[in-house]
Amino acid sequence: MVDDYTYSPNPKKLYRSRDKVIAGVCGGIAERMGWDPTITRVVTAIVFFMGGSGVVLVGYIVLWAITPVAPYRPRNLSPDEERFWRSVSDRPAETFSNIRYKFKDMDDRLARMERSVTSEEWKLKREFRDLENS
């Protein structure tokens, strides 16, 4: 079983809701689509009682069986953490590529800073600054 505290709460993946009435399927669909869970439950009940009971019941049971429960996610995320979780992609290769690009960019910036700090010009500027301050 996956640890709920380290599992990625990907907002683009369908999970069963933790705020559930029966099994969390309607709540999960509503959270994934950005809908109101109450309206989603009411519409599902109306379709169920208006003649689509077999399709709704079978679909609900299948989704209940194959959809994982939403992982634990603290509600007090910082804006940076919230932005990160919203940017997580459905495609792992794309997400990996984006992370690799960010690390490559940071590595290039660090190399430029290192070249600047270790240059003779840096040492000379530091000596002039020390002379001005004394």
Q: Decide if 72 contacts 8 (C-beta within 8 A).
A: no
Work out the number of other CB atoms within 10 angstroms of the CB of residue 60: 16
Give the model confidence (pLDDT) of 21-60 as tens digits.
Answer: 888 888 888 888 878 888 888 998 888 888 877 888 888 8
Confidence of residue 107 (pLDDT cuts 50, 70, 90): very high
Q: 31 and 17 in contact (C-beta within 8 Å)?
A: yes
Average pLDDT along the chain? 79
Closest CA to 48 of 64, 61, 32: 61
Angle at 103 between CA 100 and CA 105, to 5 degrees: 110
- Give the torsion sign (CA, 122, 128, 132, 134): positive
Taking only the tens place, the pLDDT of each residue in 53-86 is: 788 888 888 888 888 887 766 667 788 877 776 6
